[in-house]
Homo-oligomer: A and B are copies of this chain.
Amino acid sequence: MGRVSDAKEKLMDAVFELVWTGSYGTTTIDQICERAGVKKGSFYYFFESKADLAVASVEARWQMHRGELDAMFSATVPALERVKRYCEYSYKIQKENVEKYGRVLGCPQVALGCEVCTQEDALQKKIQSIMQYKLKYIESAIREAHSEGLVSAPDPTAKAKMIMAYYDGLLMEARIQNNVESLRQMWPGVSSLLGVKGELVAV
């Protein structure tokens, strides 16, 4: 009973967009409220602080993204194809960012994590855990590809970490250089890292 509101969701969307297209530190509560079309009184009704909102927002996005990942990494998809789709998906998202915001924005978790990790403990922990989850998708696909003899990865965990580092690094460089086309190299690079058998790798 009582009044119903979507202000909470609007605030979570607003902070996500503002931080991704800008930065956490320079995004103010007033800005977030304005973007969300919500008054500050309502902000403090739902959240304790900017950090509190950011944690909720990152978590909410992650729950949505999770579904997409489950589809991309579906067991019905061949193991290597999963990783390839993930690379293509990343390119697609960044291409959309270029169209929508005129800029490559990179990975929201990594950009935010990198900025706040020395300052916002709860946010850092949330992001760390999401990054661990993401790693598991890759790791499981690699393990399967290895046991199928498609790639050489006797230590799938180590290999997955290596690929994640390359993936995150490429996305972040794309953000800094504002160059979406560099992401075209993602699958070839990952493929070469995996030592995909029977594929010609130009690099």
A37 at the interface (CB under 8 A from B): no
Name the residue in A176, A192, A193 with the highest tally of chain B Cβ atoms < 10 Å from its Cβ: A176
Q: With a CB–CB cut-off of 8 A, which chain B residues contact A170? A: 165, 169
CA distance A153 to B126 in the complex (A): 39
Choose among B155, B165, B175, B189 the residue that contacts A117 (Cβ–Cβ < 8 A). Answer: B175
Residues 162-176 of A, flagged 1 when their CB comes within 8 A of B and 0 if not, give 101111111011011
A26 at the interface (CB under 8 A from B): yes
- Residues B203 and A158 in contact, CB atoms below 8 Å apart: yes
- Residues A115 and B169 in contact, CB atoms below 8 Å apart: no
- Residues B165 and A114 in contact, CB atoms below 8 Å apart: no
A78 at the interface (CB under 8 A from B): no
Residues 137-177 of A, flagged 1 when their CB comes within 8 A of B and 0 if not, give 00000000000000001110011011011111110110111
- Residues A24 and B25 in contact, CB atoms below 8 Å apart: yes
- Residues A127 and B25 in contact, CB atoms below 8 Å apart: no
User: Given contacts A162-B166, A162-B203, A165-B166, is CB(A172)–CB(B25) below 8 Å?
Assistant: no
Q: With a CB–CB cut-off of 8 A, which chain B residues contact A124? A: 176, 178
Q: With a CB–CB cut-off of 8 A, which chain B residues contact A203? A: 153-155, 158-159, 162
Residue of B nearest to A152 (CB): B203
Stretch binding the partner chain, chosen from A63-71, A83-91, A103-111: A103-111
Q: With a CB–CB cut-off of 8 A, which chain B residues contact A116? A: 23
